[in-house]
Amino acid sequence: MRRSKVFSCLLMINIAFATSEDNNLPVNISSNSANANLQTGVVVYSGDVIATQGQRKLTGNTLTIMRGSDGKIQSFVAQGNPATTQEIPSQGAQMAHGQAQTIYYFPQQNLVKYVKDAKFTQGGNVFTGDLITYNTQTQIVSSPKTPGNTGTTTIIVPAYNQHGNSGS
């Protein structure tokens, strides 16, 4: 039981995916098991991992959190079949959903990488490919061609005004 309290204390951190109000909330992580190496700053959660912080959600089979020597979170790595994210990136924005076999999140760089069988959707916009990057600060999504990749598919839905007409 004592170990669970240690993990809870370690995870009072910011995933920093979404609205600034969520950044100040605690992260709640549930999993079948957890192991922490307090010397290296690495915590590994395994089995049915669900991490939430406000309106954000991250799921996977495993979640590895790495801290730097300064104690700051360096990265989160979620693996699953698929691992998933959901968030509201800014006030008034539509929910964004991401999924991939592996999701890397680098909070200090405001960068999320969706790797292998990746998909990112928001509203009617859909990006698919082997690699999708998402800047959580600028809300820019990119999907570069990677070696051995068959390419990227992007579907952009036009904005509609109040009368239902496209914004062109």
**Per-10-residue mean pLDDT, the chain, length 168:** 36 42 78 94 96 89 92 91 90 88 90 94 87 87 73 60 45
Give the pLDDT score at 149: 61
Separation between Cα atoms, residue 146 and residue 142, nearest integer Å: 12
How many other CB atoms are found less than 10 A from the CB of residue 115? 19
Q: What is the pLDDT of residue 136?
A: 82
pLDDT of residue 153: 63
> What does the pLDDT read at residue 156?
63
Label residues 10-44 b or e (16+ Cβ within 10 Å = b): bbebbbbbbbeebbeeebebebeebebeeeebebb
* The pLDDT of residue 69: 86
Q: Which domains does the chain have, with CATH numbers?
A: 2-155 (2.60.450.10)
Q: pTM for this structure?
A: 0.78
In the block, residue with structure tokens 């370690």: 10
